C-alpha cells in the first residue's frame, strides 16, 4: 500500500510573510474509480476506437454520453454504436488553462451534437480555429491504439467538410 | 407544524465495493425501490434532499448535482446535506422541515456513498480526517477510532466495562446481520475470535470497527394530506433532534456522567418533541451508531435505554438482543449491516419503518410500534436522532 509521498508539501516547513504564517499543504487523492455500468463505453474507445451511446427501449431516446437508464421511462437502456458524425454547437480556444492541460495550450474545446443523440456533449476539437463555425459538420477521430489510455481525450473531433 | 409521514423506503444491498455501479446508479436504484414501495412516481416528488458525506469519496465537489438530473428531476429543487456520520439524520431533518413547514408536501431523501473509489483505505481515511481542525489538529495524525477512544477508555475506567463486553456487541451485530439480506458483513463469530483480532488503537481492535460500505438508501416523506394518496399505511416522524460538539477533540468534556453529551442533547430534544418521558419503555427498536463496539454500550445510556453506567450490564442481561427489552441494531448496525456514510442515517430510518410496518422479515422485532435512529460523526462533531412511530 502506497503511503504519503514525503515530498508532498504537506510535510514541508511553514514560511512567514509580513508576519503571516503560510502553511504548506497538499490535497492529493489517488483513485481507482469504477466506471461501473458505464465500463463498456471506455473499453470500446480504448480497444476498438468506437463511440457507444445508449438507447431507451421505450421512448427510443439515444443518450451520448451514455446513460444506463432512461430518466424519462425509468427503464434500462441498451448499447448502440454512434456514427461519430455530428455538428458543432459551440467552440472556444483555450490559451490559459487552469488545469493540467496548461502544457497543451492553445487548444480548442467545443460542443458537438452527434447524429441521433438527444443532447450535445463537450469534446476536444482539432482544427484551424479560424475555419470553425456553429453548425459545422464534424467527425470523430481516435488517437492511435498504442497512445490511448481509455480516457475521453483518446478521441477528438475534426471538420467533416 | 404539519405532521410528517414516511410513505416509501428503499435501498440497495451494501458491500465493500459496488464495482459495477456508479454512485448515481446506486442512488437511482434506491430511489426506484422507494418509489415502488410507495407506488409513487417522480411526478409526485416536489423536492429532494441529498445525503452525501464526502466529496473525496465521490470525486466530485457537488455529487448531488450529478444525480438529480439523471433522476429526471431537473428544475425541481434540491439541496445536499453533509454532516459527517450524522449526514443521513440531518438530511432527514432538513426534509422534515420542508414538509412540516408546508413548503413542500412530498420530499425525498436520497443517501448514497461510494468510499473506496479512493485508491486505498489509507487515502480514504485520510479524506475523512480532513474533517479535523485544519489550523492546528490536522497534522497530528488523528484517526476516526481516536475520536471515540477517549469516551470508551473513560467508560472502562469509570464503570469497569471490558474488552469482552465490547466483543459481545460485535458478536450480536454481525449475528443480527445474518437475518438481513442487504447486509455487508453477516458473520457467525465468537467473543474469542473478536478478542484475537489485531488492535488498531487500544482497546479497539479491527473487529470492533464499523464497516466501510458502498450503497444507497432513500425515504419519501409526505404531509398528512399528501400521504393519503400512497399505498402503504404512513409511519410518522414524531421526534427530531440534532446537536453538535467541539470539532477539536481535546476541547471536549468526555469525563462527566454523560460521556457523549451531544448524543444526550440530541436525544433529549427528540424525546421532548415526541412526548417521550421514559425512553426505555417507549422505544421498541433502535438502529444506532455503533461506529465502534464500545460506543454502542455508551449509547444505551446516553439514549436512556438503561441507567448511567449500566450499559455493559444491560448487554450481558440481554436487553439489546433480538429477544430483549429493546433490540438494538437488528439490521446489523454499522458493524454488521452497513456503513455507507451518507446512506447510513437514511437506511436506519428505512429499517425502523420496516419494523413498524412488520416488513422486516427474519429480523422483525415483535410488537415494534416506536423506534429510534441515532447517528453522529465528523470526527464526533455532529449528532442526530430521529424518532419514528406508528399512527
Domain membership flag for residue B135: no
Tell the burial category of A109 from Cβ atoms under 10 Å away from its Cβ (0-12, 13-18, 19+). Answer: middle
Q: What angle do CA B109, B115, B116 make, to 5 degrees?
A: 150
Residue A156: pLDDT above 90?
Answer: yes
**Do B282 and B324 belong together in one domain?**
yes
**Do B194 and B324 belong together in one domain?**
yes
* Residue pair B97/B37 in contact by the 8 Å Cβ criterion: no
**Do B75 and B171 belong together in one domain?**
no
Distance (Å) from the C-alpha of residue A42 to the closest C-alpha of chain B? 14
Domains: count for chain B: 2
* Spans of all domains in chain A: 36-159
Q: Which of B178, B197, B227 is the last residue of a domain?
A: B227
Largest CA distance in chain A: 66
**Do B20 and B151 belong together in one domain?**
no
Would the ipTM clear 0.90, i.e. be above it?
no
Amino acid A1: pLDDT = 42
Domain of B65? 4-120+214-227
Amino acid A29: pLDDT = 81
Q: Which of B227, B260, B294 is the last residue of a domain?
A: B227
**Do B333 and B265 belong together in one domain?**
yes
**Do B114 and B149 belong together in one domain?**
no
**Do B318 and B266 belong together in one domain?**
yes
**Do B109 and B157 belong together in one domain?**
no
CATH of the domain at B70: 3.40.47.10
Q: Which of B227, B261, B277 is the last residue of a domain?
A: B227
Domain membership flag for residue B232: no
Specify the residue for cell string 464495482. B19
Amino acid B177: pLDDT = 98
Amino acid B253: pLDDT = 63
Average pLDDT over residues A11-39: 88
pLDDT means per 10 residues in chain B (391 residues)? Answer: 98 96 97 98 98 94 96 98 97 98 98 91 84 76 78 91 98 98 98 94 91 98 98 97 86 77 96 98 98 97 97 98 98 98 98 98 98 91 96 88
A69 DSSP 8-state letter: B
**Do B358 and B263 belong together in one domain?**
yes
Domain membership flag for residue B374: yes
**Do B99 and B196 belong together in one domain?**
no
Contact assignment for A32 to B28 by CB distance below 8 Å: no
A120's grid cell: 450535445
Q: Is A118 in the B-facing interface, judged by CB distances under 8 Å?
A: no
**Do B218 and B246 belong together in one domain?**
no
Q: Is A67 in the B-facing interface, judged by CB distances under 8 Å?
A: yes
Residue with the bigger pLDDT between B312 and A108: it is B312
Question: How far, in Å, CA of A154 to CA of B1, rounded?
Answer: 56
| % helix, strand, coil for chain A, step of 5 | 15, 35, 50
Domain membership flag for residue B125: no
Domain membership flag for residue B269: yes
**Do B103 and B24 belong together in one domain?**
yes
Nearest residue of B to residue A63 by CA position?
A: B70
Mutation test of the interface with chain A: which of B10, B16, B25, B35, choosing the one with the most A Cβ atoms within 10 A?
A: B25
**Rg of the Cα trace of chain A?**
21
The answer, as to whether pTM is greater than 0.95, is no
Amino acid at each position: 500500500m502506497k503511503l504519503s509521498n514525503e515530498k508532498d508539501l504537506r510535510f514541508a516547513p511553514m514560511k512567514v510573510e509580513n508576519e503571516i504564517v503560510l502553511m504548506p499543504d497538499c490535497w492529493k487523492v489517488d483513485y481507482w474509480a469504477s466506471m461501473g455500468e458505464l465500463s463498456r463505453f471506455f473499453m470500446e474507445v480504448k480497444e476498438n476506437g468506437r463511440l457507444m451511446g445508449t438507447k431507451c427501449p421505450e421512448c427510443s431516446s439515444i443518450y451520448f454520453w451514455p446513460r444506463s437508464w432512461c430518466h424519462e421511462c425509468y427503464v434500462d437502456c441498451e448499447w448502440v454504436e454512434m456514427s461519430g458524425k455530428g455538428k458543432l454547437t459551440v467552440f472556444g480556444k483555450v490559451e490559459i488553462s487552469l488545469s493540467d492541460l496548461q502544457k497543451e495550450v492553445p487548444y480548442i474545446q467545443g460542443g458537438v451534437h452527434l447524429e441521433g443523440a438527444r443532447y450535445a456533449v463537450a469534446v476536444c476539437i482539432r482544427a484551424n480555429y479560424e475555419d470553425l463555425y456553429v453548425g459545422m459538420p464534424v467527425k470523430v477521430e481516435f488517437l492511435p491504439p498504442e497512445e490511448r489510455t481509455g480516457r475521453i481525450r483518446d478521441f477528438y473531433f475534426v471538420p467533416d467538410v | 407544524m404539519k405532521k410528517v409521514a414516511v410513505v416509501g423506503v428503499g435501498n440497495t444491498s451494501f458491500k465493500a465495493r459496488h464495482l459495477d455501479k456508479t454512485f448515481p446508479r446506486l442512488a437511482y436504484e434506491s430511489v426506484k425501490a422507494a418509489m415502488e414501495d410507495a407506488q409513487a412516481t417522480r411526478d409526485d416528488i416536489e423536492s429532494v434532499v441529498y445525503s452525501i458525506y464526502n466529496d473525496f469519496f465521490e470525486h466530485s465537489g457537488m455529487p448531488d448535482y450529478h444525480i438529480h438530473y439523471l433522476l429526471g428531476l431537473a428544475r425541481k429543487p434540491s439541496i445536499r446535506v453533509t454532516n459527517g456520520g450524522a449526514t443521513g439524520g440531518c438530511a432527514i431533518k432538513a426534509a422534515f422541515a420542508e414538509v412540516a413547514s408546508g413548503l413542500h408536501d412530498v420530499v425525498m431523501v436520497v443517501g448514497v456513498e461510494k468510499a473506496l473509489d479512493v485508491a486505498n483505505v489509507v487515502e480514504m481515511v485520510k479524506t475523512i480526517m480532513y474533517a479535523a481542525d485544519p489550523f492546528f489538529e490536522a497534522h497530528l495524525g488523528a484517526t476516526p477510532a481516536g475520536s471515540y477512544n477517549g469516551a470508551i477508555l473513560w467508560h472502562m475506567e469509570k464503570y469497569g466495562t471490558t474488552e469482552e463486553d465490547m466483543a459481545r456487541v460485535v458478536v450480536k451485530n454481525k449475528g443480527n446481520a445474518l437475518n438481513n439480506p442487504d447486509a455487508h458483513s453477516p458473520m457467525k463469530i465468537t467473543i474469542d475470535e473478536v478478542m484475537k483480532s489485531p488492535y488498531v488503537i487500544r482497546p479497539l481492535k479491527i473487529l470492533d470497527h464499523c464497516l466501510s460500505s458502498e450503497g444507497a438508501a432513500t425515504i419519501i416523506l409526505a404531509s398528512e394530506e399528501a400521504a393519503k394518496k400512497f399505498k402503504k399505511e404512513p409511519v410518522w416522524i414524531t421526534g427530531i433532534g440534532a446537536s453538535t460538539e467541539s470539532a477539536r477533540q481535546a476541547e471536549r468534556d468526555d469525563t462527566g456522567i454523560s460521556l457523549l453529551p451531544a448524543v444526550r442533547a440530541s436525544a433529549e430534544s427528540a424525546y421532548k418533541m415526541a412526548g417521550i418521558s421514559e425512553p426505555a419503555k417507549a422505544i421498541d427498536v433502535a438502529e444506532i451508531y455503533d461506529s465502534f463496539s464500545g460506543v454502542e454500550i455508551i449509547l444505551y445510556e446516553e439514549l436512556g435505554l438503561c441507567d448511567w453506567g449500566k450499559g455493559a450490564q444491560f448487554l450481558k442481561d440481554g436487553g439489546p438482543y433480538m429477544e430483549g427489552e429493546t433490540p438494538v441494531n437488528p439490521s446489523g448496525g454499522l458493524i454488521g449491516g452497513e456503513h455507507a456514510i451518507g446512506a447510513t442515517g437514511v437506511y436506519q430510518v428505512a429499517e425502523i419503518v420496516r419494523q413498524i410496518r412488520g416488513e422486516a422479515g427474519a429480523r422483525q422485532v415483535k410488537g415494534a410500534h416506536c423506534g429510534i435512529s441515532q447517528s453522529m460523526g465528523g470526527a464526533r462533531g455532529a449528532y442526530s436522532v430521529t424518532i419514528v412511530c406508528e399512527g
